C-alpha cells in the first residue's frame, strides 16, 4: 500500500504546504492514525444534517419504523463507504483523481470532479444558510446575511489549512455537538417520559419505510462518495473498516434517534427551533460548531474535485487553496441570498446524479479490476501511472442507467441508482466485448502521460 514515490512531491525535496496532495497520492509519511480520521468521519455523520434527518423521520414515522429505516439505510451506506474507502487508502488518491483509472477515464473524471465540486459547494451554501438562520433567531437584531458572510468566511479559513487543521476542529466540535444532543434529549424527557415518546404516533403526515430509507441513504450519499478524500490519509484498509463501523453506526443511531424523539416531543420537524428553544444560547453556539464540522469537508472535497477537473480540462495545475477560497466565496454568497430555501429541490437534483458514481467506482476497482495492475505496477516501479483513455464508454452508459433508475423512482432512489450503475458497469466490464482497458495509454504514448501527471505535482505554498 505504498504511494507512488514519483508522484510524491516530498521525494523531490518539495513541500505541499496546504495543498494536501490534491492531485498526487498521499505518501506514507503524511498518513494519520485511524482515530484522527474517524473523529472527522463521525463529525460528518453525527452532524446537524443527521439531526435534520432524524427529525423528519420522527415527524412522519413511529419510533420503531424510524429505527428500521435507519438500520437498512446505515447498513447499505456502510458497505458503500467501506468499499470506496479501501480504494482510497490503497491508492492514496482523492475520489475524482481515482476515478481517472477506476471507471471513468481521464476526461470522464473531470465530469466527476465537476459534479462533486458543484454539489458540495451547494451543500456548503445550504449548511451555511442554516447556521445563519440559527444565529439570527438567537440575535433577532442582526441580519441572516451578515451571519452567512461571517460563517462562510470562518469555514473557508479553516478549510484552506487542510486536513491537519480540520482534524483539530473535529476534536473540539464533535464532543460539543454530542453534549448538545444529550442536553436536548434530557430537556425533552423532563416533560415527556421516554416510553411515551417511543410509543407516540408521528405528529406529521405518514412517511413510508421506503421513503425513510431513501432519506437516510440519500442524506449521506455524497459523504460516502467523497470517502477516498478522507481515507487516503489512513494507513491500512482495516483502519477504514474500523472507523466506518464506529462512526456511521454511532452517528446514524445516536444522533438520528435523538432527532426522532425530539420530533415526537416537540411535534415538529423544525430542528433549529427545537435546539434553540431547548438549549438556548449554548445550544445555538454548539449547533454552529456542528455545522462547521460538516461544512469544512463539503468545501474541502469540493475544492479537490474542481482542482482535478481544471487540470484535466485545461492541462494547468491550480492550487487547492485558491480554489477553496473561490468556492467558499461563491457558496457564502449563495447562502447570503437564501439558497437554504431551495433545500428540497437541490437534494432532489443531486440525488439523481451523484449516487451512480459510487456504484461505477466500486464495480471497476473491486470487481472488473482492469485498473489495478496499472496502479500496482506504477507503485512498484516508482513511476507515474500512465493516463487512461480520455473516455470510458461503459462508465457513461452505467451512469446514465443509474440516473434513469433514480428518475424512474425505482425503490430507494439513491440506493437503486448505485445498484443499477454497479451492475451495468460490472456486466459491461466483465463481458469479453466490453473490456475497455482502463489502464490503456492515450494516443501519444506513456511518456506524454507521465509528464502530464508529474507536471501536476504541487510546488508548495
% the chain with pLDDT above 90: 36
CB 296 within 8 A of CB 162: no
The pLDDT of residue 275: 66
pLDDT band for position 277 (cuts 50, 70, 90): low
In 3D space, the residue among 333, 209, 246, 347 whose CA is nearest the CA of residue 43 turns out to be 246
From 374, 373, 387, 390, select the one nearest 446 (Cα to Cα).
Answer: 387
N residues, the chain:
461
In terms of average pLDDT, the best of 47-56, 374-383, 399-408 is 399-408
Look at 205-209, 252-256, 403-407 and tell me which has the smallest mean pLDDT. Answer: 252-256
Model confidence pLDDT, tens digit, residues 78-89: 999 999 999 999
16 pLDDT exceeds 80? no
Give the pLDDT band (50/70/90) at residue 17. low
Quick one: pLDDT band at residue 447, thresholds 50, 70, 90?
Answer: very low
How much is the average pLDDT of 366-378? Answer: 90
CATH 1.10.579.10 fits 32-342, yes or no: no
Q: What is the mean pLDDT of the chain?
A: 81
Cell 435534520 appears where? Answer: 52
Predicted pLDDT of residue 5:
40
Q: Return d(Cα 237, Cα 149) in angstroms, integer.
A: 39
- The pLDDT confidence band at residue 453, using thresholds 50, 70 and 90, is very low
What element of type H or E holds 419? Answer: helix 413-430
What pLDDT, on the 0 to 100 scale, is given for residue 197? Answer: 87
Q: What is the dihedral of CA 376, 380, 383, 389, to 10 degrees?
A: -20
pLDDT at 145 over 60: yes
Provide the grid cell at 95. Answer: 475520489
Give 220: exposed, middle or buried? Use CB within 10 Å, 0-12, 13-18, 19+.
buried
Pair 271, 130: CB distance under 8 Å? no
Quickly tell me which residue has 425513510 as its cell: 212
The cell numbers describing 102, all together, are 477506476
Instruction: Measure the CA–CA gap between 261 and 267, rounded to whole angstroms.
Output: 10
pLDDT of residue 458: 36
Whole-number pLDDT of residue 436: 44
Amino acid at each position: 500500500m505504498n504511494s507512488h514515490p514519483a508522484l510524491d512531491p516530498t521525494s523531490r525535496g518539495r513541500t505541499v504546504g496546504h495543498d494536501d496532495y490534491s492531485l498526487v497520492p498521499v505518501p506514507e509519511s503524511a498518513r494519520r492514525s485511524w482515530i484522527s480520521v474517524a473523529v472527522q468521519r463521525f463529525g460528518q455523520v453525527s452532524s446537524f444534517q443527521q439531526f435534520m434527518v432524524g427529525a423528519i423521520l420522527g415527524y412522519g414515522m413511529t419510533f420503531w419504523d424510524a429505527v428500521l429505516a435507519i438500520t437498512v439505510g446505515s447498513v447499505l451506506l456502510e458497505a458503500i463507504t467501506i468499499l470506496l474507502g479501501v480504494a482510497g487508502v490503497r491508492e492514496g488518491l482523492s475520489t475524482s483523481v481515482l476515478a481517472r483509472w477506476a471507471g471513468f477515464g481521464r476526461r470522464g473524471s473531470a465530469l466527476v470532479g465537476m459534479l462533486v465540486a458543484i454539489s458540495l459547494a451547494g451543500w456548503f451554501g445550504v449548511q451555511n444558510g442554516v447556521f445563519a438562520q440559527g444565529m439570527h433567531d438567537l440575535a433577532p437584531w442582526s441580519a441572516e446575511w451578515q451571519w452567512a458572510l461571517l460563517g462562510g468566511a470562518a469555514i473557508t479559513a479553516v478549510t484552506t489549512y487542510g486536513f491537519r487543521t480540520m482534524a483539530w476542529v473535529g476534536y473540539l466540535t464533535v464532543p460539543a455537538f454530542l453534549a448538545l444532543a444529550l442536553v436536548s434529549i434530557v430537556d425533552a424527557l423532563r416533560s415527556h417520559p421516554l416510553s411515551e415518546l417511543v410509543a407516540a404516533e408521528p405528529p406529521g403526515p405518514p412517511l413510508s419505510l421506503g421513503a425513510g430509507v431513501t432519506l437516510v441513504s440519500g442524506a449521506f450519499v455524497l459523504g460516502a462518495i467523497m470517502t477516498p478524500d478522507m481515507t487516503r490519509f489512513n494507513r491500512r484498509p482495516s483502519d477504514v473498516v474500523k472507523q466506518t463501523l464506529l462512526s456511521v453506526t454511532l452517528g446514524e443511531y445516536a444522533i438520528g434517534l435523538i432527532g426522532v424523539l425530539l420530533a415526537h416531543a416537540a411535534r415538529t420537524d423544525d430542528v433549529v427551533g427545537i435546539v434553540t428553544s431547548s438549549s438556548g444560547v449554548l445550544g445555538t453556539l454548539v449547533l454552529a460548531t456542528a455545522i462547521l464540522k460538516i461544512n469544512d469537508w463539503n468545501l474541502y472535497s469540493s475544492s479537490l474535485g474542481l482542482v482535478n477537473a481544471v487540470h484535466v480540462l485545461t492541462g494547468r495545475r491550480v492550487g487547492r487553496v485558491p480554489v477553496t477560497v473561490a468556492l467558499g466565496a461563491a457558496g457564502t454568497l449563495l447562502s447570503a441570498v437564501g439558497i437554504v430555501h431551495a433545500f428540497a429541490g437541490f437534494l432532489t437534483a443531486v440525488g439523481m446524479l451523484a449516487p451512480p458514481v459510487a456504484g461505477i467506482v466500486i464495480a471497476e476497482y473491486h470487481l472488473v479490476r482492469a485498473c489495478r495492475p496499472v496502479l500496482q505496477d506504477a507503485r512498484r516501479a516508482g513511476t507515474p501511472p500512465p493516463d487512461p483513455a480520455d473516455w470510458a464508454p461503459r462508465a457513461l452508459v452505467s451512469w446514465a442507467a443509474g440516473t434513469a433508475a433514480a428518475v424512474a423512482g425505482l425503490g430507494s432512489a439513491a440506493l437503486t441508482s448505485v445498484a443499477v450503475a454497479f451492475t451495468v458497469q460490472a456486466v459491461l466490464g466483465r463481458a469479453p466485448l466490453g473490456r475497455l482497458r482502463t489502464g490503456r495509454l492515450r494516443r501519444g504514448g506513456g511518456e506524454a502521460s507521465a509528464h502530464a501527471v508529474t507536471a501536476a505535482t504541487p510546488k508548495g505554498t
